Amino acid sequence: MAHKDLREFTEALAASRDLVTIDDEVDWDQELAGIGRLSCERDGPAFMFNNVKDYAGWRVLANPVTGWRRYAVALGLPADTPIRELYRIYAEREQNPIPPILVNDSACKEVIIPRDEIDLFDLPVPMVHDGDGGRYLGTWDLVVSKDRDSGWVNWGMYRFMIHDERHMTGYPRPTSHLGKMLLDGYAPKGEVMPIAIAIGTDQPSHLSSTATFRIGGDEVELAGGLGESPVELIKCETSDLYVPASAEIVVEAEIYPDKIAQEGPYGEYPGYRSGEMGNSVCARVTAITHRRDPIFTIDTTGFMDSSAVTTSISGAIAIRRRLERHGVPVSEVYIPPESGVHMAIVSVSRGGPEVARQVVEVLTARRALMSKIIVVDDDVDVFNQSAVIHAFSTKCHPDRGTHIHRYEGRANALTPAYSQEERLGKLGASVAFDATWPPDWPAETTPVRATLDSMYSQDVQDRVNARWRKLGL
């Protein structure tokens, strides 16, 4: 079972030596996030900052779930749980959703700041990178929204930036669940869209909000399933939305149907600041509630940030399920964290050009987040990057093995390779690299891999492995 709140989780991180606490004063203006950024790039620990310049009484936790070890702890597992096992456990728990429990009281209501007293600058929101458009309040957050007509509740992790004391701007993509709710429901009616940004909740709730999940799916129950325990929810002060009662801080707001302001640019999860600024949403804050001694959480977004692992798992599992539904003979899917959620490796039991084309078409039908897909035979371990690079380099025909699929209106505006014009028009392309043997090649002439497991008898393999162990290697 996962930890019930952020505080239990940080205790577990400290116990597994995955948390460093800093008591010296650290500047919220770039320095704090810079420490977190370096830690991402060096596969370092999470940091708890106990003394933030200008913000006495507040603490900031940087990168709660960055790297596989913290991901494992977030699920309540030992920090050294292998990646394949994390994938398996996530997929298993995802299939066992647990409904939430409603509560009437929570520490997140210890301090309630009403609309006319709100000043977003009272929150210790760091400047994450030099050159960002502003201070990003929503980086490791959980944004609650509700479909105007169906009542379906969406949890998502979307970036939100402070504009002034009472206004925020944000960039949930137009194709995101929140974006669709706004554009299809509230905006055409000229109505504000209530949202609530929960910060510092139990980690399964944050993992659920980052999850690649189907429209209409219940992310609240998913969070319960991931944590193996029901999530406690409490009602907001100014809307009928419910947030995790474990939250350290809750910012309640309304997205305008007819207002905008500057948003971005922002150094994003692909590892670049791509200039996607210029089209966003704008919200006014209606209330802020928090604990008396709150902990603010941030993700120091960029190369190898939290999305590197969170989307690696949930995205890969969602891809596998989608391919299965479309009849693709998929065996395993892995999204390498280093790819900035731009590459998927798909192993199949039967390959060839038709399968590769089908894979790329299925994975770009609604949203096109993956721009490179490597399709390999299922004798290649998708979690073993040496094996994948070997297969890609040697089995993918430079001409016949490349399948490009172009699209309009649904490209990922954060993909650094796109020009400013492509970004504005959401124009893009994805490519499948077919690194499988053509199914019509006869076995007697298909090349045989020159590895121990392929080119030696089982008897020799066993003897070699036994000798290897005896040598202590």
Partner 1 sequence: MAQEYEAFVRDRQRAVSGREVVLTLRDLTPGRHKYRGIAVRAVISETPLAGEPLLWLRSVVGARDTEPCSVRIVEELPPIFDAPPYSDYFTVLEALEKD
Please report the DSSP string for 34-49 in residue order: HHHHHHHHTT--EEEE
Neighbours of 437 (CB within 10 A): 16
Q: Return the SS3 of 302.
A: coil
122 binds partner 1 (CB under 8 A): yes
User: Which residues lie below 8 Å from residue 268, measured CB to CB, with a gap of 6+?
Assistant: 159, 274, 276, 301, 302, 414
Site residues for partner 1, 338-377, by CB under 8 A, read none
Place of tokens 């796109």: 418
d(CA 187, CA 446): 58
Cβ closest to partner 1, residue 183 vs residue 429: 183
User: Per CB under 8 A, does 130 bind partner 1?
Assistant: yes
Q: With binding defined as CB under 8 A, does residue 256 bind partner 1? A: yes
Touching partner 1, residues 307-336 (CB under 8 A) = none
- CA atoms of 10 and 200, how far apart (whole Å): 11
Partners of 59 in the β-ladder: 295
Q: Measured from the CB atom, is 25 or 54 closer to partner 1?
A: 54
Residue 23 vs 258, nearer CB to partner 1: 258
Q: Is 260 in the site for partner 1 (CB under 8 A)?
A: yes
Helix (H/G/I), strand (E/B), else coil: 14: helix
The interface with partner 1 within residues 283-312 (CB under 8 A) comprises none
117 binds partner 1 (CB under 8 A): no
CB 83 within 8 A of CB 68: yes
Conformational region of residue 340, where left means phi above 0, alpha means psi within -120 to 50, and beta covers everything else: left
Q: Which is nearer to partner 1, 187 or 287 (CB)?
A: 187
Closest to 160 in 3D by CA, of 177, 181, 143, 148: 143
Select 44 or 174, whichever has its Cβ closest to partner 1.
Answer: 174
Q: Which of 210, 274, 306, 415 binds partner 1 (CB under 8 A)?
A: 274
Among 40, 245, 281, 380, interactor with partner 1 by CB under 8 A: 281
Residue 269 lies near partner 1 (rule: CB under 8 A): no
Distance, CA of 113 to CA of 144 (rounded, Å): 19
172 touches 143 (CB < 8 A): yes
The rounded radius of gyration (Å) of the Cα atoms in the chain is: 23
Which of these ranges, 90-98, 249-257, 339-347, 447-455, lies near partner 1 under the rule CB under 8 A?
A: 249-257
Nearer to partner 1, 81 or 279 (CB): 279
Q: Does 249 interact with partner 1 (rule: CB under 8 A)?
A: no
Residue 98 in the binding site for partner 1 (CB under 8 A):
no
- Out of 263, 299, 332, 434, name the contact with partner 1 by CB under 8 A: 263
Contact 253, 283 (CB under 8 A): yes
Peptide bond into 353 cis (omega under 30): no
Over the window 55 to 94, marking each residue x when it contacts partner 1 by CB under 8 A and - when it does not, the resulting string is x---------------------------------------
Give the Cβ contact number of residue 184 at 10 Å: 12
Binding to partner 1 (CB under 8 A): which residues in 149-188?
Answer: 162-165, 167, 174, 179, 182-183, 187
Nearer to partner 1, 132 or 202 (CB): 132
Q: Which residues bind partner 1 (CB under 8 A)?
A: 29, 54-55, 121-122, 127, 129-135, 162-165, 167, 174, 179, 182-183, 187, 255-263, 265, 267, 273-275, 277-282, 420, 424
